[in-house]
A = this chain, B = another copy of it.
Amino acid sequence: MCCKKDNCSPSSCSCRGGKIERFIEPCLLLLLKKNQPSHGYELLDNLNAFGLNNDPGSVYRTLRRLENEQMVKSSWDTEGTGPAKRLYELSPEGEKLLADWITNFKNTRKNLDKFIKEYQDLEG
């Protein structure tokens, strides 16, 4: 479900519905857990799989915030071709944070199931 800019008002557009707050955070954490170390530009590509926009700004800002909160740590990779990459890896706190997200997601899924079921019971 996608958003044509014209007929999409932020208040009623169904394309906005169902999104999970700050979803980019657990996605980045999981991607790092799967493949460490990694850098922003690479992570950006892999975020597509989670249905997130291709927004470099959000990725880099979130990674910097997570580092500020000691959930990840970074180092510069000046080797290889092209501009330098900032390599990220998970900290133990970051692992814990991801685990908390999973716990919350299981709960969210339960609530979604309940919500959908209540609706379907009405519709018959």
Contacts and interface: CB of A to CB of B under 8 A. Distances in A.
Contacts of A102: 116, 119
A26 to B, nearest CB: 7
A76 interface: no
Nearest to A15: B104
A90 to B, nearest CB: 12
Nearest to A68: B11
Given A33-B122, A50-B111, A105-B115, A16 B11 contact: no
Interface in A1-58: 1, 9, 11-12, 14-22, 26-27, 30, 33-34, 50-51
B17 A18 contact: no
- Size category of the A interface is 35 or more
A116 B104 CA distance: 10
18 contacts: A1-B100, A11-B65, A14-B97, A14-B101, A16-B22, A17-B101, A18-B20, A18-B104, A18-B105, A19-B21, A20-B20, A20-B108, A21-B21, A34-B118, A50-B111, A51-B111, A105-B115, A106-B116
Interface of A: 1, 9, 11-12, 14-22, 26-27, 30, 33-34, 50-51, 65, 69, 71, 97-98, 100-109, 111-113, 115-116, 118-119, 122
